[in-house]
C-alpha cells in the first residue's frame, strides 16, 4: 500500500523535528512538503536538522503545492494559520491544527475551512491528554461546585503563550461540565487581587523554565481533601506520534470541525 503524502507547516520547530523522528519509526505517511517561514535560515536545506536526511528540502509558503490525498499538519507560530487553512480548503486537504497561542480572529477562518474539509483543533496531540480531558469533565460533574478547580501547567522557557492551549482546553472541559462559560469564571492573574478566591472560579498558573516538555495538573480541592489529575510528557515525540495517529484518522473523516477527544472515541 502506497503511503500518503504529509505536509508539515513549521518543520523547523520542535514539533516539526519530532514529527520527522516519528515518521522514521514507520507510518502510513511520508514527508512530502516541509514548510517554514519566508525568513527561515534553513530554506533550501534538508527538512531534518539532524539524523538521516529526508530528501525533502525546506520551502516557504510561496513554493507550496498541496498534493491530492495529502494531510497537512500545522505546527507553525500561528501567524500564517489563516492562509494555510485557506490553501488546504481550496485544495481539499484535511488540516490538523496543533499551533497554540494564535489570534482568536483566526478561528472564523478555521470554521470556514471546516465547511469544506475536515479540520482538527488539537492544542495537544497526546492521546493521554485526550483521555485526561475526559476525566476532568467527569470529575468536575461528579464533584460539583463545592470543589475549587485549579489548573497548573509547566513548559520550557521558550514557550510564548500562557496559559498553554492545553490548560485552556482542560479548563473548558471543567467549565462545560458545570454548565458555565470558562471566560465567566477563569482567573488568570491574582497578582493584583487583594481578596480571597472567588467561589466557582477556575484558576490557572503557568511555569516557564528549562526544557520542560509539558506538564498539566488539574486540582479539585475542598475542605478536607484534594483530587489531582496529572499528565506529564517527557519527550516531544509523544505528541508527534499522537499527531500522526490523528492525521490518519482525520484523512478518513468528512468535512467538519473536530477535537482530539473524537480520536479516542470520548
Q: How many whole angstroms separate alpha carbon 29 and alpha carbon 9?
A: 15
Name the active-site residue from 32, 84, 137, 159.
159
Q: Are 174 and 137 in contact (CB under 8 A)?
A: yes
Residue 266: is its pLDDT beyond 70?
no
Cross-strand partners of 46: 57
Name the active-site residue from 84, 155, 216, 231.
155
Cα 223 to chain centroid distance, Å, stands at 34
Q: How many whole angstroms separate alpha carbon 156 and alpha carbon 210?
A: 5
Q: How many whole angstroms separate alpha carbon 258 and alpha carbon 71?
A: 15
Q: How many whole angstroms separate alpha carbon 61 and alpha carbon 51?
A: 25
Q: Are 116 and 85 in contact (CB under 8 A)?
A: no
Span 8-13, average pLDDT: 96
- pLDDT, tens digit, 9 for 90 and up, residues 134-193: 999 999 999 999 999 999 999 999 998 899 989 999 999 999 999 999 999 999 988 877
Q: Catalytic annotation on 159?
A: yes
- Alpha helix segments (H runs only) across the chain: 14-24, 81-91, 107-114, 127-143, 165-177, 182-185, 237-250, 260-263
Q: How many whole angstroms separate alpha carbon 237 and alpha carbon 15?
A: 8
Residue 123: is its pLDDT beyond 90?
no
Cell of 67: 498534493
Q: How many whole angstroms separate alpha carbon 16 and alpha carbon 131?
A: 24
Domains in the chain, CATH or no CATH each: 4-121+236-263 (3.40.50.720), 127-233 (3.30.360.10)
Cell of 144: 460539583
Percent of the chain topping pLDDT 90: 86
Q: Are 21 and 43 in contact (CB under 8 A)?
A: no
Query: Which residue, among 90, 70, 68, 92, has the nearest Cα to 9 in the 3D structure?
Result: 70
Q: How many whole angstroms separate alpha carbon 43 and alpha carbon 224?
A: 57
| pLDDT on residue 105 | 80
Cell of 190: 491574582
Q: Which helix (H) or strand (E) holds 251?
A: none
- pLDDT, tens digit, 9 for 90 and up, residues 63-121: 788 999 999 999 998 888 999 999 999 999 999 999 876 777 888 999 999 999 999 99
Query: Which residue, among 204, 230, 232, 219, has the nearest Cα to 140 in the 3D structure?
Result: 219
Q: Catalytic annotation on 137?
A: no
Comparison of pLDDT for 127 and 265, the residue scoring more: 127
| pLDDT on residue 1 | 58
Query: Which residue, among 216, 34, 248, has the nearest Cα to 124 in the 3D structure?
Result: 216
What is the phi/psi pair of residue 258, to 5°? -125, 165
Amino acid at each position: 500500500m502506497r503511503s500518503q503524502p504529509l505536509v508539515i507547516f513549521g518543520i523547523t520547530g520542535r514539533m516539526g523535528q519530532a514529527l520527522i523522528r516519528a515518521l522514521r519509526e514507520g507510518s502510513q505517511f511520508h514527508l512530502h512538503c516541509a514548510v517554514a517561514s519566508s525568513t527561515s535560515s534553513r530554506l533550501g536545506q534538508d527538512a531534518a536538522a539532524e539524523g538521516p536526511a529526508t530528501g525533502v528540502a525546506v520551502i516557504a509558503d510561496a513554493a507550496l503545492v498541496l498534493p491530492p490525498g495529502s494531510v497537512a499538519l500545522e505546527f507553525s507560530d500561528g501567524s500564517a494559520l489563516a492562509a494555510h487553512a485557506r490553501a488546504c480548503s481550496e485544495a481539499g486537504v484535511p488540516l490538523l491544527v496543533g499551533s497554540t497561542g494564535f489570534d482568536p480572529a483566526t478561528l472564523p477562518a478555521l470554521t470556514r475551512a471546516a465547511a469544506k474539509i475536515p479540520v482538527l483543533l488539537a492544542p495537544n496531540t497526546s492521546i493521554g491528554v485526550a483521555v485526561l480531558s475526559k476525566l476532568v469533565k467527569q470529575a468536575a460533574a461528579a464533584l460539583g461546585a463545592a470543589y475549587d478547580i485549579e489548573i497548573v501547567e509547566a513548559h520550557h522557557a521558550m514557550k510564548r503563550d500562557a496559559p498553554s492551549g492545553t490548560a485552556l482546553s482542560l479548563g473548558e472541559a471543567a467549565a462545560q461540565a458545570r454548565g458555565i462559560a470558562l471566560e465567566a469564571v477563569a482567573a488568570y492573574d491574582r497578582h493584583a487581587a487583594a481578596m480571597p478566591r472567588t467561589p466557582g472560579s477556575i484558576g490557572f498558573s503557568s511555569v516557564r523554565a528549562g526544557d520542560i516538555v509539558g506538564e498539566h495538573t488539574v486540582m479539585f480541592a475542598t475542605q478536607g481533601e484534594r483530587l489531582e489529575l496529572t499528565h506529564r510528557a517527557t519527550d516531544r515525540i509523544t505528541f508527534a506520534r499522537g499527531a500522526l495517529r490523528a492525521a490518519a484518522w482525520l484523512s478518513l473523516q468528512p468535512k467538519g470541525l473536530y477535537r482530539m477527544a473524537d480520536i479516542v472515541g470520548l
